[in-house]
């Protein structure tokens, strides 16, 4: 029997507000333990939370970008559970009335572009962090993270392969970062994902029993964990067994998923409306105001690049991976007028230099104007493509404009036909044997003469001009 995977993802994204969701403590990562805390986020009795307006604004942005319905009235609930990293004994989250519902995004699927539905987007607070001491029988708690704002983005079970899940995640990540509402840092936990997966016999409508996978900290690991889990469930089903509903942890070192807890231990959170917080009422005017500040999103940008610059889809994908990279590319094109050549330089040398240095495009030592000018110099024949490689390396190293680099390195290309003809005449006189052989029909000696001219000019002669002149003068 052939099985079809069914996957739904839950993404937690940390919002980039300066202060926490219900108090004015800083959200800065990496501060000394418990230095970013106050009675509100420490869960002291008698304090009241006050909702951060920025958090609502950011969530509305994500809702608009993912085509969700925005619930004009929505509210917070208490999710009750005990854990030492949660001093209040409950997490403030949204439950019955989330801010956004019923949206979706387009993803490059296995064959075509397809829409993955988004069930809901809701706001909630993060919990603290436990640090377990390996040498001393104690655990420490750092509450800097309690009350840091999160949104949870829950997808419909519309995803049908591990690869598609990774593609969906990349798109969600890209949108969050484009909107500048999440820094997207997976290592620091600003972007986390749980994956739900089940199998069903192909053609069957009804879903199978699912497992929930946790603890994947990269796109690649989400994909690997799902690939493993799909195979595991397939073996279970093929052997006539049953998949049980459970939470499983991805073990990166072993490359396997391990059972963590079954359904019997599933939590009962006793959700109820939080009496400390009033209903959030969102006006149409506010939504329109926020809509007015939305940047062009990755997919729109990609389509505009294809249309306006006539570059291949691959190039458009690479160049729109971040807003800063896209801006850099567009500035180069605006100044040099050659979209494909600009794309080759940006995707080639520039990205390679930056990758080697682990640098962001925003810190690129070559300003867009310098790259554009270099491209114009190649076009004008002032330097060859080969020289340009040397120029770009030097520009990257020193930050100097191309003209300065060219002058300092003496890289100016010889384009003066008269001067070059004189050089060729000398070479012909100095190599009478080869000249006679060439004239006698040994055509491949043409290359010998090209080489001699290159050598005499130290590679600075325009190759096209050498060719043209040799064809005229040798016979």
Among 79, 210, 248, 323, binds ligand ADP (CB under 6 A): 210
Residue closer to Zn ion, measured from CB, 41 or 100:
41
256, interface contact from ligand ADP, Zn ion, none, CB < 5-8 Å by kind: none
Residue closer to ligand ADP, measured from CB, 16 or 79:
79
38, interface contact from ligand ADP, Zn ion, none, CB < 5-8 Å by kind: Zn ion
Please tell me the distance from the alpha carbon of residue 437 to that of residue 24, in angstroms, as a whole number.
87
Residue 210's CB: how many other CB atoms inside 10 A?
21
Q: Tell whether residue 83 is a contact of ligand ADP (CB under 6 A).
A: no
- Spatial neighbors of 463 by CB under 8 A, at least 6 apart, are 384, 450
Residue closer to Zn ion, measured from CB, 19 or 66:
19
Q: How far apart are the first and last CA of the chain?
A: 74
Q: Which residues pair with 125 in a beta bridge?
A: 149
Q: Which stretch binds ligand ADP (CB under 6 A): 45-53, 191-199, 372-380, 387-395?
A: 191-199
Residue among 387, 368, 406 nearest 458 (CA): 387
Q: Which residues pair with 96 in a beta bridge?
A: none
Residue among 44, 24, 65, 61 nearest 290 (CA): 61
Residue closer to ligand ADP, measured from CB, 37 or 247:
247
Residues 8-67 that bind ligand ADP (CB under 6 A): 8-10
321, interface contact from Zn ion, ligand ADP, none, CB < 5-8 Å by kind: none
Instruction: Report the interface residues with Zn ion, using CB under 5 A.
Output: 23, 25, 38, 40-41
Among 81, 83, 140, 207, binds ligand ADP (CB under 6 A): 207
Burial class (CB in 10 A: 0-12, 13-18, 19+), 216: buried
- Spatial neighbors of 50 by CB under 8 A, at least 6 apart, are 22, 23
Residue closer to Zn ion, measured from CB, 25 or 453:
25
Among 154, 166, 181, 388, binds ligand ADP (CB under 6 A): 154
Residue closer to ligand ADP, measured from CB, 229 or 315:
229
Cα angle 175-176-180, degrees, rounded to a multiple of 5: 110
Residues that bind ligand ADP (CB under 6 A): 6-10, 154-157, 196-198, 207, 210
């Amino acid at each position: 029997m052939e099985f079809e995977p069914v996957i739904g993802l839950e993404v937690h994204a940390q919002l980039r507000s300066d202060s926490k969701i219900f108090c004015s403590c800083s959200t800065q990562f990496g501060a000394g333990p418990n230095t970013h805390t106050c009675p509100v986020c420490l869960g002291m009795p008698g304090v009241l939370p006050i909702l951060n307006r920025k958090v609502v604004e950011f969530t509305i942005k994500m809702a608009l970008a993912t085509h969700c319905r925005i619930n004009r009235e929505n509210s917070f609930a208490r999710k009750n559970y005990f854990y030492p990293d949660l001093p209040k004994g409950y997490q403030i989250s949204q439950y019955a009335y989330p801010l956004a519902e019923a949206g979706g995004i387009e993803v490059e699927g296995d064959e075509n572009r397809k829409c993955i539905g988004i069930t809901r987007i809701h706001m909630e607070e993060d919990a603290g962090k436990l640090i377990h001491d390996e040498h001393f029988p104690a655990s420490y708690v750092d509450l800097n993270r309690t009350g840091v704002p999160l949104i949870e983005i829950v997808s419909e079970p519309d995803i049908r392969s591990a690869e598609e899940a990774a593609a969906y995640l990349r798109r969600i990540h890209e949108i969050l970062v484009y909107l500048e509402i999440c820094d997207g840092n997976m290592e620091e936990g600003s972007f986390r994902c749980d994956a739900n997966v089940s199998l069903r016999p192909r053609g069957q409508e009804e879903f199978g029993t699912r497992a929930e996978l946790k603890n994947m900290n990269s796109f690649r690991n989400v994909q690997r964990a799902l690939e493993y889990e799909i195979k595991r469930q397939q073996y279970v089903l093929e052997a006539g067994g049953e998949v049980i509903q459970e939470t499983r942890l991805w073990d990166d070192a072993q490359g396997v998923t391990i059972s963590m807890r079954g359904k019997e231990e599933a939590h009962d959170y006793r959700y109820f409306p939080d009496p400390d917080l009033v209903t959030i009422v969102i006006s149409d005017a506010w939504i329109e105001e926020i809509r007015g500040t939305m940047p062009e999103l990755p997919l729109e940008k990609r389509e505009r690049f294809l249309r306006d610059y006539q570059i291949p889809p691959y190039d458009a994908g690479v160049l729109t991976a971040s807003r800063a990279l896209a801006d850099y590319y567009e500035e180069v094109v605006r100044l040099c007028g050659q979209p494909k050549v600009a794309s080759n330089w940006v995707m080639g040398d520039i990205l390679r230099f930056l990758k080697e240095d682990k640098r962001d495009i925003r810190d690129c030592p070559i300003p867009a104007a310098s790259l554009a000018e270099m491209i114009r110099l190649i076009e004008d024949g002032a330097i060859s493509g080969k020289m340009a490689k040397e120029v770009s390396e030097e520009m990257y190293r020193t930050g100097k404009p191309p003209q300065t680099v060219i002058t300092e390195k003496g890289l100016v290309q010889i384009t003066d036909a008269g001067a070059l003809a004189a050089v060729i005449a000398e070479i012909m006189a100095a190599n009478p044997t080869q000249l006679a052989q060439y004239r006698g029909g040994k055509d491949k000696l043409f290359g010998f003469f090209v080489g001699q001219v290159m050598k005499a000019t130290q590679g600075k002669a325009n190759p096209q001009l050498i060719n043209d002149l040799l064809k005229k003068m040798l016979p």
